[in-house]
Structure 1
């Protein structure tokens, strides 16, 4: 096996690991529910999921700080997941806002 094939195989394995790690129970629960109320309800569900991720990350960091848990790496990963989810939410909000502004500027 040449080095390019090895690198490709390693990258595929890492991508599979990241995909498995990113499909946590909190995120999966929001995606399993079918959106009943349309876009508004789906957005509300995403907000609640991100809020619960923030609370889980805060609790994990508090447990590490108080000495209840020694899983610093897990707490940091949870914190980064929550941060990334929030950043993605802000980007979606910005895109929706700019799309709405552009629709409002369209001549009728």
Structure 2
């Protein structure tokens, strides 16, 4: 199940990257760089990398929760509360990631609708 979610999220991330590339190609007005907060010296921001890190973090939480549940099921651990908490944390993280994805996809759709 985690692999299915990861696949869906990766597909959505690819769609976001494609839409961002499309917008960049159609951009006609470029704001001066001085208007933006410049990143710290040597530091760069990549939305795609940030999303990939978020997906990897959520996936790691899901794998950890699955391992804890498997340990409890197999009798290797008696920490049922810890396993349930890890499962809930993974679930909440996934829900939050999906909400961020939905907001970003909505914003990209709105940007695409803007007249050039």
After TM superposition, the score normalised by the length of structure 1 is: 0.65
Structure 1 residue runs of 4+, over 2 Å off?
none
**Paired position in structure 1 for 2:91:** 83
- For residues 43 and 97 of structure 1, the distance between their equivalents in structure 2, rounded to whole angstroms, comes to 13
Equivalent residues in 2 for 1:67-78, closer than 5 Å:
67-78=75-86
Over residues 4-35 of structure 1, what are the superposed CA-to-partner deviations in whole Å (9 max), with x where a residue is unaligned? Answer: xxxxxxxxxxxxxxxxxxxxxxxxxxxxxxx7
The structure that is helix-richer by fraction is 1
Aligned residues: 74
RMSD over aligned Cα atoms: 1.3
Over residues 71-98 of structure 1, what are the superposed CA-to-partner deviations in whole Å (9 max), with x where a residue is unaligned? Answer: 0000000000000000000000000000
Q: Which has the higher contact order (CA 8 A, sep 6+)?
A: 2
Structure 1's 36 and 60: CA in aligned 2 closer, same or farther, altered over 3 A?
Answer: farther
**Paired position in structure 1 for 2:46:** 38
For structure 2, the residue ranges without an aligned partner over 5 or more in a row are 1-42
